[in-house]
Amino acid sequence: MLKGVILSLVVFVLITFDQSIVAINDLQNNPGGNSDTIQALVINTNSEILESIKEMSGTDIFHLVDSLLDQKAIPVDLIQEINDYAESRFLEHDYYISLTSFYDTSVYPANSLYQNWNTEKVYPYNETSFKTDTVSMLILEDKNNFCDFKMPIEGVLTSRFGWRDGKNHNGIDVDLHVWDPVAASFDGMVRIAKYHGGYGRVVVIRHYNGLETLYAHLHRIKVKPGDIVEAGQIIGLGGSSGKSTGSHLHFEMRYKGKPLNPLSIINFKEQSLYNDTIELKKTKWSYTALPKGVKYHTVKRGDYLYAIAEQYAISINQLCEWNGIKRNSTLRVGKQLRISS
């Protein structure tokens, strides 16, 4: 359905563009023609095209521009008009930063952020871009369908993010049965789809805002590198491949190769995001993911978990889940604890 809509739009745009070229040539060959008339025709043609894409989602516009870039005679001015319109709607999305460089035919999501597309290494990124970061705002979902969210699988959470068995567990584990379908969490492009010694059969998807999600221990892989996927699309079947003690999905969320706590972003009880926008604050080794609008408590001398939970009328379990800590964790004075959704 989506491909049909995009194809129809491309045909319409190209026909309109070709018709305008023919008309302009006629005017130029006509002694009565003048530059003002030609300019007016170009403006009217572009206005008609822009009017036709006002109801398009960000993904549709991306595919439209990509299709135009594949033409033998690239309509540069038209692409610039479409890009200007897209930026007016999605100004802060990295997805559209790539459209400002329409001479670059790269179709890789967030290419302006990474400048790297590796289909062999799960983590091919260096520390350069991370070191210069401070705070980043990422939009995960929006009302214009620029990006959507779906749960990768609905199941029981069996292992959380954080320190486990003497090492960092950089994702979460969700129970499943072998052959259960696993879905992409957001729209994006498949970067990795292969067997990995530790992860087993693993899929990594890069999304248009720069996030990457990882789906490990699959029994079967249903996509290949370069595939464009939509949120909710099946990308594999659950299993227990690699270093796994039982069938489950190991799910990670990363930004510039750094692991984020999915439980700070996704409300697994409600099967939804806590907020459509997150703030990433750089820490010494990674980022802290903070849903927009959440409230925090700064730990003071003498504070303990029970008292903090009681003060804000939340459970200790919820407090621990939001902050990736345990009941017996030591609270450092000055540390900020999330106390709202």
Asked whether the domain spanning 297-338 has the same topology as the one spanning 157-291, the reply is no
Over residues 179-184, the mean pLDDT reads 96
The beta-strand segments (E) located in the chain are: 135-139, 157-159, 162-164, 167-169, 172-175, 181-183, 188-196, 200-207, 211-221, 228-229, 234-238, 248-255, 258-260, 266-267, 272-273, 277-282, 287-291, 296-298, 336-338
Exposed / middle / buried, residue 126 (Cβ in 10 Å: 0-12, 13-18, 19+): exposed
Higher pLDDT, 192 or 32: 192
Sorting pLDDT into bands at 50, 70 and 90, what band is 69? low
Question: Which tokens go with 92?
Answer: 């802060």
216/235 Cα distance (integer angstroms): 11
Residue 179 above 90 pLDDT? yes
95-109, 125-139, 252-266: which has the minimum mean pLDDT? 95-109
Q: How many Å apart are CA 274 and CA 269, to the nearest integer?
A: 11
Read off the DSSP letter of residue 42. Answer: H
| CATH code of the region 157-291 | 2.70.70.10
CATH class of the domain whose range is 297-338: alpha beta
d(CA 238, CA 247): 7
H helices of the chain, in order, are 2-29, 35-52, 58-69, 76-89, 94-97, 111-114, 128-131, 305-311, 316-323
pTM over 0.85: no
- pLDDT value at position 328? 85
What pLDDT sits at residue 228? 92
> Domains of the chain: which residue ranges?
2-107, 157-291, 297-338
The tens digit of pLDDT for each residue in 194-233 reads 999 899 999 999 998 899 999 999 999 999 999 999 999 9
| pLDDT value for 207 | 93
| Over residues 162-178, mean pLDDT | 86
The pLDDT score that the predictor gives to residue 233 is 95
pLDDT above 50 (res 165) = yes
